[in-house]
């Protein structure tokens, strides 16, 4: 199995163990019929929901985390 294949099957707990506590990911969501962006910790815990992706990324960086997008 190649490294990329392995990463596709990692659980949230596996990712947290790898030291991804410095990473937060941004995911597009719909809230009350409106497009929004949720911010999640590496373990999948929702941290916040923002109306704008750029604001979500800026918020992550302000908290000394590295933003990662999820599609």
| Kind plus residue range of the DSSP H or E element containing 69 | strand 66-69
Burial class (CB in 10 A: 0-12, 13-18, 19+), 42: buried
Give 9-61 pLDDT, tens digit per residue: 666 666 666 656 788 889 999 999 999 999 998 778 899 999 999 999 999 99
Q: How confident is the model at residue 66 (pLDDT cuts 50, 70, 90)?
A: confident
What distance in Å separates the CA atoms of residue 53 and residue 47, rounded to the nearest whole number? 14
Q: Write down the pLDDT at residue 21.
A: 73
C-beta pairs of 38-45 under 8 Å, 24+ apart in sequence: 40/70, 42/12, 42/15, 42/16, 43/12, 43/13, 43/15, 43/16, 44/12
């Amino acid at each position: 199995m190649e490294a990329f294949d392995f990463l596709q099957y990692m659980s949230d707990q596996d990712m947290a163990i790898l030291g991804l506590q410095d990473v937060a990911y941004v995911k597009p969501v719909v809230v009350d019929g409106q497009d929004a962006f949720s911010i999640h910790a590496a373990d999948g815990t929702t941290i916040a929901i923002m109306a704008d992706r750029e604001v979500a990324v800026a918020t992550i960086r302000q908290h000394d985390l590295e933003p990662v997008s999820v599609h």
